[in-house]
Amino acid sequence: MKLTPAQLESFDRDGYLFFDSLFSREEMAVLLAEVPALYRQQRQEVIREKGSDAVRTVFAAHLMNQAFAKLGRHPRMIDPVTQIFGEPVYMHQFKVNGKQAFDGDVWQWHQDYGTWKADDDMPDARAMNVAVFLDEVNEFNGPLLFIPGSHKQGAISASHDLSTTSYPLWTIDNKTITQLVDRGGIVAPKGPAGSMMIFHSCLVHGSPSNMSPWNRTIVYLSLCVVSNHIRKFSRPDWIAHRDFTPIESLADDCLTNPSVRIDSLPLAQPA
């Protein structure tokens, strides 16, 4: 998958790209079928909502599950990022964000690079997220909110919120958000399962709670240029990975081709 000059210009201006229905229903069904087993696991990589058993995030699913391991090497997710950076990338973080029906909590306004810089000592914002919808994302089930153009501000001062939700986050104050929105507005990319987003690590974003009866599951690959790898290892390696090996893309049909297998999944539980 190669981005066009118009798409590259749009990404530079807005800080994100959206691809409606880039993956097929069959490909997404393969991944969605694996989610319940991930959610049932009682392990440190599975973060639950504050005061609830509902799953908020599953970290490092690509190290414990074959289908997600293949997604982490999928050319539609990897190749556009290497095209933008012009360099190979490694997996800084992989997470399945499960904003579950009625129970999915808010993600406060933040920049991902703010966290990666503060907690992991990532030198520069040469990293970005690629996200794919496993469920339909609509205006009711907690869509991601972007402030277009906010990535142009670079790393913005943030404070460490340790209490609002079950997961600590470096968040941006309301005054700054108001100023950014006055300039760029707010957009909420929505679409069917199989839609994909790419967004800059300095793009300011967040999401409201899910008050609807529909799950909203999104998988995020956080990809970093190999030469820009993190320097501090204070967080667990299942949150901020320490394997800086460049990702090699698999064949485009890897999700639905059972003959494609990943040899080693270090976090997989015994069969």
pLDDT of residue 270: 57
pLDDT of residue 166: 62
Mean pLDDT of the chain: 94
User: Distance (Å, rounded) from C-alpha 143 to C-alpha 146?
Assistant: 10
DSSP 137: B
For the whole model, what pTM was predicted?
0.93
Kindly report, residue by residue over 184-210, the tens digit of the pLDDT.
999 999 999 999 999 999 999 999 999
User: Distance (Å, rounded) from C-alpha 129 to C-alpha 116?
Assistant: 12
pLDDT of residue 168: 74
User: Distance (Å, rounded) from C-alpha 270 to C-alpha 2?
Assistant: 39
- For residue 31, what are its two tokens? 């991944």
Structural contact between residues 219 and 134, judged by C-beta atoms closer than 8 angstroms: yes
Banded model confidence at residue 106, pLDDT cuts 50, 70, 90: confident
Distance of CA 237 to the CA centre of its chain: 17
Q: Which helix (H) or strand (E) holds 132?
A: strand 127-133
User: Distance (Å, rounded) from C-alpha 49 to C-alpha 107?
Assistant: 11
* CATH topology classification for 7-228: Jelly Rolls (2.60.120)
Distance of CA 232 to the CA centre of its chain: 21
User: Distance (Å, rounded) from C-alpha 43 to C-alpha 65?
Assistant: 14
Average pLDDT for residues 175-181, to the nearest whole number?
A: 96
Torsion angles phi and psi, residue 28, rounded to 5: -70, -30
CA distances from 46 to 38, 90, 211 (A): 8, 22, 22
User: Distance (Å, rounded) from C-alpha 63 to C-alpha 265?
Assistant: 5
Q: Is the dihedral of CA 45, 99, 101, 254 positive or negative?
A: negative
Q: Going by C-beta distance under 8 Å and a sequence separation of 6 or more, which residues neighbour residue 2?
A: 79, 80, 83
Q: Mark 55-93 as b/e (b = at least 16 C-beta within 10 Å).
A: bbbbbbbbbbbbbbbbbbbbebbbbbbbebbeebbbbbb
Kindly report, residue by residue over 205-247, the tens digit of the pLDDT.
999 999 999 999 999 999 999 999 999 999 999 999 999 999 9
- E strands, 147-258, are 159-161, 169-171, 196-200, 205-207, 216-225
Kindly report, residue by residue over 53-85, the tens digit of the pLDDT.
899 999 999 999 999 999 999 999 999 999 999
Widest pairwise Cα distance in the chain? 53
Residue pointed to by tokens 């943030």: 158
